[in-house]
Chains A and B, each alone.
Chain A
Amino acid sequence: MTLEIPKFTPPDFSQEFFVNAPNAKLVEVVKDGVSPANYHALSVFPEYFKINGKWVLATESRMDTVCVAIDEPGKEAVDIVEFRNLKVGDKVVVGRTEDGSEGIYMYTQGFVTEKGNSDTFAFRSGRSRETAFSMDYDQLYDILRHEKEHNGYVTWVIGTAITLDPGSRDAMARLVREGYVDAIICGTSFAAFDLECATFGTTWGQETFERESTTLGNYFETINMVREAGSMKEFVKSGKPKDGIMKACVECDVPVIIGGTIRDRFGLPETYDNVYDAQNAMRKHIRKTSTVVMVSAILFTIATGNMTPSYNEFDGVIRPVYMYTVDIQEFAVNKLSDRGTLTAKSVVTNTQDFIKNIGRALT
């Protein structure tokens, strides 16, 4: 089975309705990090803005942010910007309609095929542990192979559970080494537990991880050693870590973005202490991401889900961005599956099994 990526058909802008629509109204920012009132907030769907009579599609979009327009004649463009990143003088699109009457058009029919998948954009109903997932797995294998062969950008958002089990840890490291991973977004404990295991052969101080304990001797020793080395890269070079995901990432040059949380009392040198710097770093990768797989990391999954559009432009072609969320908790996966996106799929399972399955299927 080969993967067919849905084709995007833009609206026919020669229709009178589009021709007669006014330009989007722009108001300048007067205080850094604060938008003019009545701004237009983005959704996850494709949205067009009329600037100097030209309809411009927002690419690298992000919901709950604003549209900054460049209206220099001949250079019309838009940039989708978080409120906190607005700068004085930025021209923000204002208006809260999406039907073109204010120069703002939200377009949900771009990926609808002639066969008439009437429910393509229907909000997905909730998924549970009893949903049949075989087809979703097969599709995911196809997507991951396709992305690898076609220069796609696959970002993985991974929780600590994956590093606590040798099978899932090995599978993830193999996926990195075989080119199925272009970036990893995670928290400190994911990276630090992997390095603890690689260095001391223990997880949470135990040879086989069974239960959480309160004091994390080897874990903190590991972080202390990485800080002493200056970076994960230098630490891996020192030869102390023997295996694992971080070692694979360093050796294959796969970027790892580590966002801080208030549970981080002792971070790795790479941990972003400032969570908004972390968000900016995450979005830098999400802007180029064509498929995102998010496993057992509810905080990072929601953060990433919120900044990932349902579509994006790759080499001039508009296509959907595939999104998978995997968690044992139905609540966690359903938080994102009601986004109403074409391509968001969720699987309810133990994520260690999920990764082991992917590893066995692809490597």
Chain B
Amino acid sequence: MTFELPKFTPPDFTSEKFANANEIRVEEVKKDGIAPSGFYLTRHMPTYYHYKDKWILPEHNSQNCVAVLVDDTIVIKELNDLVVGDKVVMGKETDGTNGVVVYREGFDESVVSMPGRSVETSFTEDYEHLFELMRHEKENGGYIVWVLGPSVVFDYDTRIGLSELAENGYVQALLAGNAMATHDLEGGYLDTALGQNIYTQVSVPLGHYNHLDLLNEVRRTGSIDKFIADGNVKDGFIKTLNRLDIPFVLAGSVRDDGPLPEVHGNMSEALRAIKEQTDKATLIICLATMLHSVSTAELASSYRIREDGTVTPVFMYSIDVTENVVNKVAQAREYIAVKTLVTNVQDFVVNVQKALLKPVGELQAEPVEVNVHEYVEKNTAKEESKSASELKIK
């Protein structure tokens, strides 16, 4: 079975609703960062704007922004980024009376999910869908953005799993905070996360100094890049991203120690850098961070216009052990193209890694070419040597 992305079907513009609609009305911004009173606040759902007898679907969408008319097209802009002279679309209605139509109906029914998922929900189908989606994105030039909390780098297998997924083309960008990068680099520098060995769980003497030492040493060096280049980091997800030139955006928070030199302290700058990534995203996977997951869910466009002009939903997967977190994300995405799983993210990552990267699955596709005995033997041998080296306690 070949996987097909659910499509978004544009409306019939000859229908009464569109045919009778007015054109948009705009007003100019008089003061930077302040919208004209009565501005139109954007929705998460795809929205068409009627201007010069044409219906415009903006390249990217985002909720709680303003629609700005730029050279006969519509650009979705953060309220915060408004500058004097910007032409802001006005009005509250979304039924066409002020040239704005929100069109949720275009989404295929298959992408609508139901609220209220819990730890007991059966998730196998969602996993299968994710595996197919990830393979599809990898093969079709997709852009998979991962949003990660620190807990993914506190565990040995999870840290390796993420790195292998990156090495195999399943990671195109990382969005995270100071702690996630700090503890991953701490693991590569001193084998611990917050002073505890990431495999044996043994707390090392004076281990509470480790993350502070790591931060201090990276700050002394001046950048993560230089710190890695100097040979201080043995392994880890950040090192893998650095080697593969995969971009990562680190956003600061009021609870940061350090911070690492690459962390954005100004939230407006962090959001701009994050948006640069989410604008390219075709799939977003959020693990174990409420702040970053909800922020990304609120920010990222609900659709992408692909090269051939088709419109496809941007799927978002939210995985957390706390139901409240995944429910907030699902709600922010208005239950369209959002899948939530309630689990420990360590299990999630290891499951995804095993499903996508173990060669056994591929075997069934081309049975003729492979000598099964040889294959299994070789593969087992490889497994053994790998697990032996993995189990070695540093």
Contacts and interface: CB of A to CB of B under 8 A. Distances in A.
B7 interface: no
A268 to B, nearest CB: 11
A52 to B, nearest CB: 27
A96 B332 CA distance: 47
B35 A274 contact: no
A89 to B, nearest CB: 16
A262 B257 CA distance: 17
A299 B290 CA distance: 10
A263 B216 contact: no
A88 interface: no
Nearest to A185: B254
Given A39-B216, A262-B271, A278 B64 contact: no
Interface in B250-273: 251-259, 265-268, 270-271
A83 B215 CA distance: 9
Given A83-B215, A228-B34, A265-B78, A275 B253 contact: yes
B254 A261 contact: yes
A299 B267 CA distance: 15
B294 A263 contact: yes
A41 B208 contact: yes
B219 to A, nearest CB: 5
Contacts of B256: 275-276, 279
Nearest to B35: A224
A152 interface: no
B220 interface: yes
Nearest to B115: A211
B44 A214 contact: yes
A6 interface: no
Contacts, number: 132
Given A215-B64, A265-B80, A265-B299, A299 B254 contact: yes
Contacts of A214: 43-44, 63-64, 298, 331-332, 334
A161 to B, nearest CB: 12
Interface in B288-347: 290-292, 294-295, 298-299, 322, 324, 328, 331-332, 334
Interface stretch (A29-37, A101-109, A193-201, A235-243): A29-37
B294 A306 contact: no
Contacts of B220: 31, 34
Contacts of B35: 224
B192 to A, nearest CB: 15
Contacts of B350: none
B216 A273 contact: no
Given A83-B212, A261-B254, A276-B256, 12 more contacts: A34-B220, A35-B216, A82-B257, A215-B63, A224-B35, A225-B37, A260-B267, A262-B271, A275-B254, A277-B265, A299-B291, A303-B254
24 contacts: A41-B212, A84-B258, A215-B41, A215-B42, A215-B43, A215-B44, A215-B63, A216-B64, A220-B64, A223-B79, A225-B37, A228-B31, A262-B251, A262-B253, A262-B267, A262-B271, A262-B292, A263-B291, A266-B78, A274-B267, A275-B252, A275-B253, A276-B256, A306-B255
Interface of B: 31, 33-35, 37, 39, 41-44, 63-65, 78-80, 92, 206, 208-209, 212-213, 215-216, 219-220, 251-259, 265-268, 270-271, 274, 290-292, 294-295, 298-299, 322, 324, 328, 331-332, 334
